[in-house]
Amino acid sequence: MKVIMPVAGKGTRLRPHTHTTAKPLVEVAGKAVLGHILDRLEGLDINELIFITGKDYEKDIIDYVKKNYSQYKVSYERQKEKLGTAHAIYQAKKHIDEDVLIVYCDSIIEGDFDIIKKTKADGIMWAKEVEDPSAYGVLVLDENNYIKKMVEKPEEFISNLANVGIYYIKNYELLFREIEYIIKKDIKRKGEYYVTSAFQRMFEKGEKMIIGKVDKWLDCGNIDSLLETNQYLLSKKNKIEEKGKNCKIIKPVYIEKGAKLENSTIGPFVSIGKGTEIKDSFIENSIIGLENIISNVRINSSVIGSYTKVSGGEFKKLNIGDHSHIEIRFE
């Protein structure tokens, strides 16, 4: 099986962090989002990973995968124009000569991937039941529980199965023919070619695709959801490599080796990167990157990049990118 992973998105909802960091490399619970995603594919029979990159941060993605996932054969294709999901996937065509798994990097999914090894269906699309399907693309099933159509943000209730953005396709040749068709015929929505349009044509031609079970759908697309995902992942795996001096650590937290803590209360739900120094502070429900200097602050529900200086204030919610400097002085 080959795996296609589009990673060219700009991540505008995660700014300012994505001004300096590729969206898939934004960290949550001590690891890049991309790393969490790849970890969950472990155990599958993967012959090659194909990353669809943009010109921004391409080298960063390559370096990260080479350093942390060298066990895989990996290829990279650049999407030179941002023309939509179908166009992105089409860049991988020359690499695909067997069944394919398409995985987007906006979310971390916990679900049943072993179903790939045993399914007799033509494909699988993973979905999660949601309370308000009007905010999502949804999958609609026929009387035999095969997917018959995909509808983007339906105004009327037709299904509560939200499409989470992971697809397994056996008939890869048909997939690429249908993508070629919608590009050739210039079938666009909002100025882009959507892979869901190709999937719909596949359904209409009789492809029998089923739903894959999703236990947990952890969105990482904006600051609030990133913090919620951090909470969940920390609750599953707490890690403390530095306890600091005269500090109160309230689990769960992730504190990397090399962090320097003094006279502070840390946690719960706090991630702290290597080399960060924190002194005389209270920090709760926050993600803090590498090599920061933080002192005399009270921070909650915050995301702080790397190489920052923050001091002298109480912030209910702080969101600052790399190389920022915030200082409050009381005269």
Burial readout 27-36 (b: 16 or more C-beta within 10 A, e: otherwise): bbbbbbbbbb
208 and 165 inside one domain:
yes
322 found inside a domain? yes
Given this model, what pLDDT does residue 13 score?
87
Given this model, what pLDDT does residue 329 score?
61
Residues of the chain short of pLDDT 50, as ranges, are: 330-331
- At 56, phi and psi to the nearest 5? -80, 130
Given this model, what pLDDT does residue 243 score?
84
75 and 200 inside one domain:
yes
Domain that holds residue 318: 239-327
CATH code where residue 243 lies? 2.160.10.10
CA 180 from chain centre, in angstroms, equals 27
**Domain end call among 197, 224, 251:** 224
Given this model, what pLDDT does residue 158 score?
86
Determine the Cα–Cα distance for residues 123 and 136; give it in Å rounded to an integer: 21
* DSSP H stretches of helix in 147-215: 172-184, 195-204
**Domain end call among 224, 256, 273:** 224
229 found inside a domain? no
216 and 244 inside one domain:
no
CATH code where residue 146 lies? 3.90.550.10
**Domain end call among 224, 254, 288:** 224
Determine the Cα–Cα distance for residues 34 and 53; give it in Å rounded to an integer: 13
Q: Into how many domains does the chain fold?
A: 2
User: Among candidates 263, 305, 306, which has minimal Cα distance to 281?
Assistant: 263
316 found inside a domain? yes
| Residue 177, C-beta contacts closer than 8 angstroms, at least 6 positions apart | none
Residue whose entry in the numeric block shows the structure tokens 């920390």:
234
